[in-house]
Structure 1
Amino acid sequence: MSAGAAPGPAPVIPELFRGLFDDAAVFPPGNLPVVDAVPAHRAHRTAWYADAVGPFLCGAGRLGELAAAVAGTGPLRVGLVLPGGSAELGPALAAAAPFELAGVELATRNVQEAVTELDRLLPPDVPAAVELPRELLRGDGLDAVLDALVDSAYRAKFRTGGVVAEAFPGEDELAAFLTGCARRGLPYKCTAGLHNAVRHTDPGTGFEHHGFLNVLLAAQETEPAAAAEVLAERDGQVLAKAAHALSGHQVTVIRNSFTAFGTCSITEPLDDLAALGLLSPSPLVREDR
Structure 2
Amino acid sequence: MSTLPAAVIPPAFRHLVDDAAIFPPGLAPLPDAVQAHVAHLASGYADLVGPFIVDAARLDELVPLAPSGFAASVVVPDADAVDEVVRRAAGSIALAGLEVKLVGGALVPQVEAVAAAAPEDVPTYVEVPRPTHEEWPAVLRAVARGGLRLKFRTGGTEAAAFPSEAEVATWITAAVAAGVAFKCTAGLHHAVRHTGPDTGFEHHGYLNVLLATARAAGGADTGTVEDALRERSGATVAAGLDDLSDTERAAARAAFTSYGSCSVLEPLEDLRDLHLLTPGTETA
Displacement of 1:191: 0.5
The equivalent residue for 1:91 is 84
Gaps of 5+ in 1: 1-10
Q: Which has the higher contact order (CA 8 A, sep 6+)?
A: 2
**Higher alpha-carbon deviation: 22-31 or 141-150:** 141-150
Displacement of 1:118: 2.9
TM-score under structure 1 length normalisation: 0.90
Displacement of 1:95: 1.7
Does 2:44 match 1:51? no
The equivalent residue for 1:4 is none
- Rounded to whole Å, the distance in 1 between the matches of 2:107 and 2:276 is 37
Alignment of 1:65-144 (within 5 A): 65-70=61-66, 73-82=67-76, 84-97=77-90, 98-109=92-103, 110-136=106-132, 138=133, 140-144=134-138
Displacement of 1:120: 3.0
2:35 pairs with one of 15, 25, 39: 39
Contact 1:103 1:128 in 2 (8 A): yes
Does 2:265 match 1:271? no
- Rounded to whole Å, the distance in 2 between the matches of 1:166 and 1:269 is 24
Tell me the SS of whatever aligns to 2:209. Answer: helix
Alignment of 1:1-289 (within 5 A): 12-70=8-66, 73-82=67-76, 84-97=77-90, 98-109=92-103, 110-136=106-132, 138=133, 140-220=134-214, 221=216, 222-282=220-280, 284-285=281-282
For residues 4-49 of structure 1, the C-alpha deviation after alignment (integer angstroms, 9 at most, x for no partner) is: xxxxxxx911111011101100111111011100010001111111
Displacement of 1:112: 2.7
Displacement of 1:114: 3.1
- Rounded to whole Å, the distance in 1 between the matches of 2:149 and 2:115 is 13
TM-score under structure 2 length normalisation: 0.91
Report the residue type matching 1:51 in the other structure: D
Tell me the SS of whatever aligns to 1:195. Answer: coil
Contact 1:12 1:279 in 2 (8 A): yes
Contact 1:106 1:114 in 2 (8 A): no
Identity of aligned residues (%): 44
- Rounded to whole Å, the distance in 2 between the matches of 1:281 and 1:46 is 17
Contact 2:21 2:263 in 1 (8 A): yes
The equivalent residue for 2:3 is none
For residues 129-165 of structure 1, the C-alpha deviation after alignment (integer angstroms, 9 at most, x for no partner) is: 11111112x3x33222212212121111110001111
Report the residue type matching 2:114 in the other structure: L
Gaps of 5+ in 2: 1-6
RMSD: 1.6
For residues 100-137 of structure 1, the C-alpha deviation after alignment (integer angstroms, 9 at most, x for no partner) is: 0001010113443333333333222111011111112x
Report the residue type matching 2:20 in the other structure: A
Report the residue type matching 2:140 in the other structure: L
Tell me the SS of whatever aligns to 1:112. Answer: helix
Aligned residues: 271
- Rounded to whole Å, the distance in 1 between the matches of 2:68 and 2:178 is 40
Tell me the SS of whatever aligns to 2:151. Answer: strand
Displacement of 1:256: 1.1
Displacement of 1:80: 0.8
- Rounded to whole Å, the distance in 2 between the matches of 1:114 and 1:19 is 29
Report the residue type matching 2:236 in the other structure: V
